[in-house]
Every structure is written in structure tokens, then in C-alpha cells.
Structure 1
Amino acid sequence: MTRLLHIDSSALGEFSTSRKLTAAIVGAWRNAEPKLRVNYRDLAAAPPAHLTGRVAMAMRSRDMTGLTNEERAEVALSEQLVEEFLAADGLVIGAPMYNFSLPTPLKAWIDRIAQAGRTFKYTELGAVGLAGGKRVIIASSRGGKYAGTPLEAALDHQEAYLCRVFGFVGITDQTIIRAEGINMGPDAARAAINEAQKQIEKLFIHSRAA
């Protein structure tokens, strides 16, 4: 049984393109694997706080001495988030581009799960990922068009960042489902979503055939 972690981060609720894409991806994954077990987390509805120095140090040392109750709760949340991440066989991540980067709750989540000794480790030869063997599908939405242009190379701190982060923790099986140009008029938005849906339909062809 595949365990899937489904994460949304858009603040736009029912108007969010990335949420529509993640729902479609999870639906297609369910069709391919009827016994799929899904754990859902809405980072916009319940955003993790950004790390403080004291919480970050306690996460590393496991020493709770002197922490307030609120700080202890933050350490406990970090443990819950990293355990969810490690337990998952696959991830579907909704990641809209906000000002050429990520929604801040998604960045806060990454800061919680990127833990030395848990999802990666340092060696004499550099960092080694500890969370390999998973599949990640990123549902990317963008108001403008950037893919394959010099502008993307200069301004993309969204898809490129996510790919590097997941690669850093050992996940090399990565797929991006992209809908861009969403804010460039109704026709452009419709075309972008239709193209993304075509990509989603192709994701699990081999699984269905098997």
C-alpha cells in the first residue's frame, strides 16, 4: 500500500490553480492505486510558524531545557512533520509561484523537514540525502510565463528551489506538472490548465497497464 503525503500551500482556496492540480494528481494516483492511503496537510489553513533560534537548536540537540510550553509545542510539531514526511512513499506538493518564490508556509514546512540526521547527513565528502526512494510530484502554478526562458533562469526560485531541496534529501524521482500564464487572460489560463491535465493523465499510464 502506497502512503501519499498531499500538501497544499496556496492562500487562494477554491480559486487556487495549484490546489486544482494537486486534487487531480491525487485522483489520478488513486485510480492507478485504489489502496492508496492519503495524508493531507493544508499549510495555508494551518501554517507552521517560522523557526526561531531556540526551537531550531532544540530540534537539533533534543534538549528541551528552558523552553516555554509554546516552544515545546513547536518542537513537537517539527517532529510530527518530519515523521509524516519520512513515512510517505510519495508526495504531491502544491506550489504556486509567489513573487518568484514559494508561499511562506511551504518554506516553513521545508525548514521543519530538512533536518540533519533525519532527512540528510553531513559526511567528509559533503551532504548525503537520507529520504530517498520516494516519488514527488510538484503542482506548479504561475501567473506569468517563464519556462525555458532566460527570465526563468534569473527569477525562478520556486521550481528550481524545490527540485534542489528534494534532491538534497535524496529524492531523485521528481515530476513537475506546470500551469503557467494563469493571469494572462482567460484563454491563456484555460490553455495552461488543459495542458497540465494532459500531463496528469500521462502520469500513471504504466501503473494502470500493470
Structure 2
Amino acid sequence: MSGYTESLLEKYRQRIYEAVGHHTAPAGPEVKAIKITQPKYYKGQDDINAFDEWVNQPLRWLKIYKVTGPGRDADCITYARTCLEGMAAQWFDQEVDGPDHMIHDWTFEDFYSPAKGVLAFYNDLKCRASRMVQLPDEYSMKRKFVNGLPLPIAEGVLKSRGVSAEHMPMDQILIEVQRMESALKLINNHTRVQQSKQAGTRPTNSDN
């Protein structure tokens, strides 16, 4: 996991802890009478601003209704699922509720991780594999994942990062692919900025 991703996740963990990490007294009738707008659905879109705006909404709801404290993690997670749609809901069903998820004791802080890019592709691959009559072996899964990546990412990790389905575990492949995806996004953004600058300073042709 990149340093940026780790710092981002830590920021969300801290925000969640500050909002719902401390136990509070049960909500009284005056609180239960308050009608709060249901949070908008998060669909797993690759937009950190959209996720950042969304994540505050269920936290506010949980805090107002006093669904807080370590003993309410399961309730928080269950409620958060009702605020997901599309790719985000699929990720939840596969990774949190799915019978083969790797983490057995979820906390609310662990749950809040936006699904995007190659990770969404990997989650979809796992979901499809779980529905097969005969589950594919790990090597087949790794090959399917690498072969299904966008060409620039696949070429980058195979040539410059030494990624190999034969000799590298899946979690390490995911780390390298995420790093390459982030690097290519930065390069593409830089290229677009430079092209915009050049277009803005390019002299116009005169008809005279």
C-alpha cells in the first residue's frame, strides 16, 4: 500500500473514531423524534471528493442517534451497507458479508475503504470466481487478474516492477499494480495540464 493511500485511510479511521468511537448514553425519545435525511448512496465511483462528502453523512446519522462505541461496530457496519449501491455494494457483499472474506473481525474503521480502479476489477474477479462450479486455483486467479489489466498498467508492472504470477503472491501483485495505477494517473494529469497550457499560449493563425 502506498504512503498516500495509508495516510488517507488513517485520516478516515481517525474521523470515524472521533465521530462514533466513544460510547454514549442511549438516545432518548427527544432524539428519536428527530427526522434526519437519509444519506445519499455511494456507488463506488473513482472520486475521492464524492466519497469524502458521502462518508460524513452516515457518521452524522450514527452520532445523532448515538449508535456509538466499540460495542456498536456491527450495527454501524450494517447501517452503512444500506447507504451503498452498485460497485460499492458489490464490494461490501463480497468482502464483508461474503463467506470467503479474509478478515473475520471487522471494525467500522476497517470497513470504510473506497473501492476504485484495479481493486474494483479484482473484487469483481473474485466475485465471479466464487460463482464457478470449480473454484480456480491461486495461480489461475493471478494470471486472469494480470492479463485483464489495462495495457499501460500491465506493461508497467511486468517490465519495470518484475511482477510475475508464478513467483509473486497476490497481495504483493495488488500493491505493485496500485502503485503503477497511481503513477500513471499522475503522469496523465501532468500531461493534460501541460497540453492545456500549450493550447492557451499557442498563437492563433491570422486569415490576413
TM-score (norm 1): 0.26
TM-score (norm 2): 0.26
Greater RCO between the two (CA within 8 Å, min separation 6)? 1
Q: Answer 1 or 2: which has greater helix percent.
A: 2
Q: Answer 1 or 2: which has greater strand percent.
A: 1
Larger Rg: 2
